[in-house]
Amino acid sequence: MSQQLTQKVDVELPAQSVIPRARPALRWLMLAVGLVVVLALPWFVYPPVAMDIAAWALFAISVDLLLGYTGLLSFGHAAFWGASAYSTGLIAIKLGMPFPVAVVGGAVVAMLLAIPTGYLAVRRTGIYFAMVTLAFAQMLYFLANMWGDVTGGENGLQGIPKAFFGVELVETDAFYFYYAAIPIILIGVFIAWRIVNSPFGRVLVAIRDNPARARALGYDVERYKIMVFVLSAGLAGLAGGVFSISHGFASLQELVWTTSGKVVLVTVLGGIGTLWGGPIGAAVVVLLEDRLASSGFNGIGIITGTIFIVIVLAFRHGIWGTARNGLTSWLNRRRIKTGQRL
């Protein structure tokens, strides 16, 4: 059955849905460079900031699964990031679980919340889908604010421990916490990569490009949308759980609509439909905000907004998308010249 599905997708998907791929050698080189950067990041950036970059990178990748590969714009993904942040904190505090177990538990909660939300949202398209997800996130925000006995209300959920299988990583161990938590982020990135580079991922691209044709080919479009929505929520939950453990608290800020808007901005800034764009956009946004905050400048929003507008106008396909297209064009020209010489 799976072989038939693969053949069907390979043969019948629209030509425009094929995503340009780098040469295998270049792809492996990029992967090696990426791993080196991830491992070396806390040596060049303050470790908590490095952890924030990693968490926001996975959060952006989760949004890109919907926006870049399925064509669904979610304005409420903070619901899953924030729900996992609170759930992770409660599991770590109340049950005394090691933080990797607590993060996985938070991701499961996010996926469970995504099932009814996705069921309602995927029956709508365009701005209506975005509005349904936004409404759900806002509802969760008010519930967390009212349920102060559990969530801490406006004060947030504080004192989340960094227990790592019997070892308590205190605030001074931020450097070691990074290396203890980064495998969770890398696992999430690997899951996203496997989703994209699979028959399931190709069907998602077909749905993005032409849902009517995908439905005519026999694919249950709504079912695929619900599945990717739940998977995306799980990845956002992993990122939100790591973020809350890293900071030692979970607040209403994790659920507010501006967080959903920020992650969409990060995704678009890096380049949608690329996976690499999420980490690059996260690095730009987090480092820029950190530098401006450290300088004591008050109008951070004005500066960051101006810079983001300039970048989006200068790089229409995002930072990584523009770089990838330029590299592809250069490789094609080089291949043509080499063929002419031969």
Residue 88 is encoded by which pair of tokens? Answer: 């992770």
Find, among 236, 168, 175, 230, the residue nearest to 200 by Cα.
Answer: 230
DSSP states of 5-58 as a string? HHHHHHHHS-GGGPPP---HHHHHHHHHHHHHHHHHHHHHS-HHHHHHHHHHHH
Q: Cβ(269)–Cβ(111) under 8 Å?
A: no
User: What predicted TM-score, i.e. pTM, was given to this entire model?
Assistant: 0.85
Helices (H), 68-126: 78-94, 99-121
What angle (nearest 5°) sits at the alpha carbon of residue 61, between those of residues 57 and 62? 120
* pLDDT the model gives residue 194: 93
What gap in Å lies between CA 31 and CA 29, rounded to an integer? 5
* pLDDT the model gives residue 170: 64
Find, among 173, 151, 128, the residue nearest to 249 by Cα.
Answer: 151
Q: Cβ(257)–Cβ(134) under 8 Å?
A: yes
DSSP states of 224-278 as a string? HHHHHHHHHHHHHHHHHHHHHHHHTEE-GGGTSHHHHHHHHHHHHHH-TT-SSHH
Residues ≥6 apart with Cβ < 8 Å to 332: none
Phi, psi at 318, each rounded to 5°? 85, 170
Fold of 43-341: ABC transporter involved in vitamin B12 uptake, BtuC (1.10.3470)
Residue 193 is encoded by which pair of tokens? Answer: 């990569």
The one-letter amino acid code at 328 reads: T
* pLDDT the model gives residue 244: 93
Radius of gyration from C-alpha coordinates of the chain: 21
Residues ≥6 apart with Cβ < 8 Å to 160: 88, 89, 92, 93, 244, 245, 247, 248, 249, 250
Mean pLDDT by runs of 10 across the 342 residues of the chain is 40 38 67 87 90 95 92 90 94 90 95 92 83 91 87 85 73 80 94 93 91 89 93 95 92 89 89 87 88 72 73 73 73 69 50
* pLDDT the model gives residue 79: 93
Phi, psi at 266, each rounded to 5°? -60, -45
* pLDDT the model gives residue 192: 94
What gap in Å lies between CA 269 and CA 65, rounded to an integer? 15
Domain residue spans of the chain: 43-341
* pLDDT the model gives residue 7: 41
What gap in Å lies between CA 210 and CA 255, rounded to an integer? 33
- The one-character DSSP state at 138 is H
Per-residue b/e over 45-82, b at no fewer than 16 CB within 10 Å? Answer: bebbbbbbbbbbbbbbbbbbbbbbbbbbbbbbbbbbbb
Q: Cβ(231)–Cβ(65) under 8 Å?
A: yes
* pLDDT the model gives residue 228: 94
